[in-house]
Chains A and B, each alone.
Chain A
């Protein structure tokens, strides 16, 4: 089905998300930080990227912004995983081009549903 990139510095989260999405039939690449996310994104052109809000090296918002700045990645959907829902961050995220937010702790099933619905929607 789709190619999904997952970026989070927490091994547990990476494994949980990857396992669930692979069970759904997607191909999943996992990376540990924002910089690797950008490199992988330009190499592999994923359909959807799941980013953690806070990662070492490049924050989630900065990574999202960088992805949007890349014309080749214009159609990529972005989901942000966040441990908090501060209004300013949500607003900054939307300005940066994030399509959806999932709060931590997250339900793998709910994440899977959101992924499917985002992929179904065409930009």
Chain B
């Protein structure tokens, strides 16, 4: 027992020494890290101050002072230029007009786009992100192809930044790759939607085609209706609504008539946002859809077009006393003006009373 005891005693001492030693190491590392970072940040702040005066002159100054300041900035080399580029890129999303054009010119003449392109080939995902972000901020349309390639990057952060950058760049060749990305990365839905809306009406033809393709698939005799709607088609429909493209109405009407439930809902909402009377018949047909949410969306969309034909359906919705549906229906009725308001006042639902009271308060002030 003695030997085992002294062995365990030794073990205990060793452990104690190890833990204490490691603890001391940690403490030192902590202090060292904080010291180093503190110093770095202090220096960074000072340098930025010197830089700012020149940047402001260059972007916002009159022709002469701007020219001189720009020349000074353009003459910077190495890390000094890197900092300048960083400041300029940070400012790009915040301004429009002449200030932005000047910043872009300065960045481009120093090859910022080429540099960002190089960064997108880095092995580190953070650098690739920065490169993609910069390409987007610069509106580097010529490098849209590289951004599309980055949509297949192994790092999800890079894929997200690339998607948004493609929106900022606004190139239509990105539409299909963006929609395809949805299947892999459905959680990027918002980023993809944002990007597609930013690309603008140029994206509309391809978006329409995606919707129509999904309708075709749904029509196929044996499997059509059992497969789930393509998420990309739903996204395409919502984007068409956000774009407000009247030319998309025929495709969306097709979606309402022949699509699967999720697509029908998206198309109904989109038609409401576009507010084109050509969509009205399809919406009225959708008032009789199976899904509750689709019926409400149809009613709301009809109201958005100023048609009173949906009033009965909406009153019925208010009286379901389901919080979301009732409130949405009440809001829609109020938008119809006197007719809708009268329908609400004669309803006994508490949600109707709430909506009318709030509307009165709004109009009183």
Contacts and interface: CB of A to CB of B under 8 A. Distances in A.
Interface string B261-277: 00000000000000000
A95 interface: yes
Which residue of B59, B61, B90, B97 has the most chain A CB atoms within 10 A of its CB atom?
B97
Interface residues of A, number: 17
Given A12-B90, A23-B61, A106 B56 contact: no
Nearest to A108: B99
A26 interface: no
A109 B97 contact: yes
B96 A107 contact: yes
Nearest to A10: B94
A108 B98 CA distance: 8
Contacts of A19: 56, 60
B198 to A, nearest CB: 13
Interface in A40-82: none
B96 A23 contact: no
A20 B97 CA distance: 13
B365 interface: yes
Contact of B56 (A15, A95, A105, A109): A15
Nearest to B92: A105
A20 B56 CA distance: 9
B56 A107 contact: no
B94 A107 contact: no
Size bracket of the B interface: 10 to 19
Interface in B83-117: 90-91, 93-100
Contact of B60 (A13, A23, A91, A104): A23
B350 interface: no
A95 B364 CA distance: 11
B292 interface: no
A115 to B, nearest CB: 14
Contacts of A10: 94
B190 interface: no
Contacts of A16: 56, 59-60, 91, 94-95, 99
A31 B156 CA distance: 38
A105 B60 contact: no
B38 interface: no
B47 interface: no
B91 A106 contact: no
Contacts of A13: 94
A108 B94 contact: no
Given A12-B90, A19-B56, A20-B60, A109 B98 contact: yes
15 contacts: A12-B94, A16-B56, A16-B94, A16-B95, A95-B365, A105-B93, A105-B94, A106-B96, A107-B100, A108-B60, A108-B95, A108-B98, A108-B99, A109-B97, A110-B97
